[in-house]
Structure formats: C-alpha cells, structure tokens
Amino acid sequence: MSAEITRTLQRAAVVCVIILPILYLVIVYYRPGELRQEVPTTQKRFSLQSHLPPPSPCTCPDGSVLLKDHIPKDQYEKVAKRRAKELQQHKARTTSVLSRLLIALPNSPLQYPIQGFTVRPLTTTPIPGLALHAGQRSSYKVSLNVSKGVLTTENVAEGVKVQASFQFENHEAVFPITIKQPQLPVLHDMGTDINSHVTIATKTFLRYPQLKVLLSSIRRFYSNIEVVIADDSFEPEHITGEHIRQYFMPPAQGWFAGRNLAVSQVTTKYFLWVDDDFLFTENTKIEKLVEVMEAVPELDVLGGTVQGNQFYFSLLYEEGEEMEGGCLYRKSQGKFQSLPGYPQCFLASGVVNFFLARTDAIQKVGFDPKLQRVAHSEFFIDGLGSLLVATCDHVSIDHQPKTGNNKDNAHYARFRNPGNSDVEFKLQLHFFKNHLKCVKYG
C-alpha cells in the first residue's frame, strides 16, 4: 500500500457529536455486499460476530425458594410486566457493545486498534494505527464507516479518495471506540498513621450498654481513631468523647438505613465495620487488614473473624432467561482462590459483619434501606460483580456476652428478629429488584 494512503488512513478523524457522559460505540469497517460485487472471490466468508443462542432458563438448585410463589397471584401479572420493563431500561443503561463477542478473521491485511482507543465528546481525534497491508497494485479501494459520530479526513493526498466505510476485498474489521470524558482521580491522603487510614463505623439501636463497652475496648487499643455511630433508638442517649461522631435518625429506621448514614460520613480511604456488641482485643489489628488492602488495591472488602468464626460465603448466579429471571445460590463457607502473598486470605463473595472496606466502593453499591431487619447477605448480592471481596483469619474481634435484663433483651428481639411479613418482603424484593426466579441459602 502506498505511503500516502497509509498516512491518510491514520489521519482519519472521528468528530464525536454525542454529548452523553459515557457512550460506547462500534466502528464497522465495510459493507460486504458492495465489495463482493467488485472483487470476485472463492474464499468463504465468516461473520465476525458469534451469534450465540439466547439465554435459556436457569436451573434452580434443590431446596430453592421459587420467588414467584411469594407474589400475590392477583398481582403477579402486573408485577412481572413492570419487572420486564425495568429490566430493559437497566440493560439500556448498563449494556455495552464491548460485551459483544467478536471473532477475528485469520490473516487479515487490515491493521486497526483492537482496544484502548478513547475519544472525548465533541473532540476531533485521529484513529491510530489504521493501515492496509496488501500486495502492490495500481489502485486501492478503501472505505471507513462509523455507526455513530462524524468521520472527516485531513490533508488527503492527490488522487486518493476516501469513502464512507472501511473495506478491502472480503476482509472486515470491527472494533470498539469508547466515547467519554476523562475521569479526574479521587485520591485519599493516607497520612502517617492508622487514624488517617481508617474510620470505625457502627450502627446502634436500643443497646447503649453494649455500645459503651465496644467504645471502651476501641479506646484501649486505638485512642485517637475516629468512630462514626448511626443511632435510631427510641430514646436517644448522647455518647460523648473525643473522636466520636453520633448521628441520630428517626426511630427504628433499620440496619441498612443506619449503615448508609454511617458510611456516608466517613472521610478516610477505609472504614472498619463493627457491630455495636463487638469487643476489641489484642488480635484486633486493623493495621494488618490495611496492609492486605494496600498490597492488593483491587480489593474492596476484607473480612476477619468474630470469636474465631470466619463466616464467609460464595454466590453462584445464573442469569437465566429474561422472562423468568436468574437463579442464585448462596453457599456458606464457599470460597475461591487465595490471595497472592497472603495464604491466610482468600477470595469469597461475602464475609462476616467485621470487615475493612474501601469507602468509595461501598458508597457506590450502598445498603438498601428497604431492608430494615436481618439483612447482611443482601448487600453482597447487590455488590456481586462490582465488589472484590476477601477474608482473612489472622485478624479477629470478640463478641460481647449477652447481658442486661430480660425486658431489655425482649424489647430488642422484637425488632431484631423478623416476622413472616419481613421474610416475604425480602423474597418479593429479590424477585423484582434482583430479577431472580429462585434463591437458595445454603
């Protein structure tokens, strides 16, 4: 190919006219029908796109709960219709053409960027690396096409014509271009000690004696670390002391609403989540958790053990067919591979209520305030695919023994233990919100 044509292709520019913050698009480099008429060939053509069969219904594990059975029969049809509409809108917001399966043809003479090409909206950007590697001939027909945006050329060499799609004989090239604004980094100053690394966060409700014991144990080992408390007790009691921030809520708003409030007030890179009846000991070494998180920056959540109990679980999810929904299996003590360099730690899908977390990652997932009572696994279900979770056994915390009079414990238990209506609500939420057909807790 002549040097003039190569330079012209490399100067081809995309002028982006899309003003959405993020838009993914595909450049399709030819119209095969036009070329087959002009260039006879006996070579068999193969599609670059693998046409996979549509998703089939998933198989519910034995013992699963069929969620549609927990939707009132007289409401099911309307609920299912609303769920289907919401799913399509979700896909429109989140599905990228980058998920389209492309199979590269062998021995293609086309050179083009496979990935990593990003342009800014309303900005002229040269497409790098475009070239044609073909035998010497007197003329070439090369064309270029984009599915969105505007193509222009600059300094076209004399005698060279550039048309509206990129093609050469029976070869085609399909590759994605990302149109988005560059993101500014959001960095956290780690400072010089653990107090600038981590904030301790907790939620309390009707358990001020236990909360005070927890705070006393924290101060025994970490005298200056910041503690954030979300409190939705009926009769609020002010907790005083340095480096303590207590935020009051309307009464009985629930655990997840309190978690959202507490985490929203964290200003450090990490926070350590603890229950209000936990107890710090000599083995509650926050620094060891920070060490692992800093060494493996992809991690978002790192759990420890509570009184030697290293509870963790894996989430096995099949997307399933669109109308029926997916199948989810929460497998207790299910784990994946260990972390490189930390054999005492391994990946999982969810961990116990004692964990160090990356603040901004957790804020993006959030805790669903609709879930007011027992709801821990549901946070990790919402974060599946976006949170990288691990657990370690070399950092632990204790659990306070049950104390107080029977009346106080009974009052708390009425809110702590969900009734049938709470269980039904959670199953209905899984059906609609998580688009599930069935769920199994193992």
- Judged against a pLDDT cut of 70, whether residue 213 lies above it is answered with yes
Is the confidence at residue 96, as pLDDT, over 80? no
**Residue 275, pLDDT score:** 95
| Superfamily classification of domain 194-441 | Spore Coat Polysaccharide Biosynthesis Protein SpsA; Chain A (3.90.550.10)
- Residue 361 CA to residue 348 CA, distance in Å, equals 17
Specify which residues 25 forms β-bridges with.
Answer: 177
- Percent of the chain residues past pLDDT 70, beyond the cut: 78
Distance CA 42, CA 55 (A): 35
Percent of the chain with pLDDT over 90: 55
Q: What does pTM read for this prediction?
A: 0.78
Question: Mean pLDDT of all residues in the chain?
Answer: 82
- Give the pLDDT band (50/70/90) at residue 375: confident
* For helices 420-432 and 73-94, angle between their N-to-C axes, nearest 10 degrees: 50
Domain locations in the chain as residue ranges: 3-52+101-180, 194-441
Report, as an integer, the average pLDDT of 287-297.
95
Please state the rounded mean pLDDT for residues 232-246.
94
Average the pLDDT over 80-95 and give the result: 88
176-212 residue pLDDT tens: 777 778 878 888 888 889 999 999 999 999 899 999 9
Residue 135, pLDDT above cutoff 90: no
Does the CA dihedral 12-17-20-26 come out positive or negative?
negative
| pLDDT for the residue 411 | 59
Per-residue confidence (pLDDT) for residue 137, from 0 to 100: 81
pLDDT above 60 (res 39)? no
Mean pLDDT of 391-409: 81
Q: How far apart are CA 362 and CA 220, in angstroms?
A: 28
According to the per-residue pLDDT averaged within each range, which of 31-45, 305-319, 361-375, 393-407 is highest? 305-319
Which residues have a Cβ under 8 Å from the Cβ of 175 and sit 6 or more positions away?
26, 27, 102, 112, 113, 114, 115, 117
